[in-house]
Structure 1
Amino acid sequence: MDISWLEYIIFSMAVFRLTRLLVYDQITEWIRSPFMDEYEEKNDEGKTEVYLLPKEEGLRGWMGALLSCFWCTGIWVSIGLFLMRYYIPVLYKPVVIVLAVAGLAALVETWIQSKNIE
């Protein structure tokens, strides 16, 4: 198994972006929702806040716990992309490049936003 430093960095950025997509992004809420329960709570200002917690038991609870943990999901995303590299290389390269570029763009945007807040 031979992997260059450049490919390692690109792979890492792709894992970062896909993991965030699955765990946090609104567009993948439909993936998480069967495994989560919504709880509403009023904060000190009287506004209602909605919390998502993994279901209590069974496979849905396990998947909910997995999808609510950035670190846990990251491991499985890494394994999936790594297996894709060997078994579906024709799909691996474009998927990883798109995810890596999106991940880098997200980091740059976060950095820019942090500089604009004073």
Structure 2
Amino acid sequence: MSVSWLELLLIILASFRLTRLIVFDTITQFLRSPFLEVVEETLPDGTVASYIQPKGTGIKKFFGELLSCYWCTGFWCSLVIVLGYLWYPFIMYPFILIFAVAGAASFLETILGKLVED
């Protein structure tokens, strides 16, 4: 099965948005919280820096590493979207379209935000 340029663009945007949803968005914090913890550190200048650290060991740490890595999560999101589209296009296309529109909207929002700041 071949994929057109438009389908590829939609898959790319959908993968981008799904990855950001899982790794960064507040609405999916409940998915990350069993595997990640926020560690705060006071720097010498008095500011507080916070960073994310995987919890536990074994499989729990594995999922913590996965969910804290944009590149790792992006690979698995892309794999699910591409294979889902190739095997079940009728079911996956509406989801891909929705995530692609949301991904394109986030790009536009970022670009417009940068233009308005200047």
TM-score (norm 1): 0.90
Per-residue Cα deviation, 1:68-91 (whole angstroms, up to 9, x for no partner): 111111110011112211333332
RMSD: 1.7
Matches within 5 A, 1:1-118: 1-43=1-43, 46=46, 48-118=48-118
2:68 partner letter = S
Question: Which runs of 5 or more residues in structure 2 are unaligned?
Answer: none
Alignment partners' CA distance in 2, 1:45 and 1:111: 33
Alignment partners' CA distance in 2, 1:27 and 1:50: 20
- SS of 1:34's partner is coil
Report % sequence identity: 41
Question: Which runs of 5 or more residues in structure 1 are unaligned?
Answer: none
TM-score (norm 2): 0.90
Shift of 1:57: 1.6
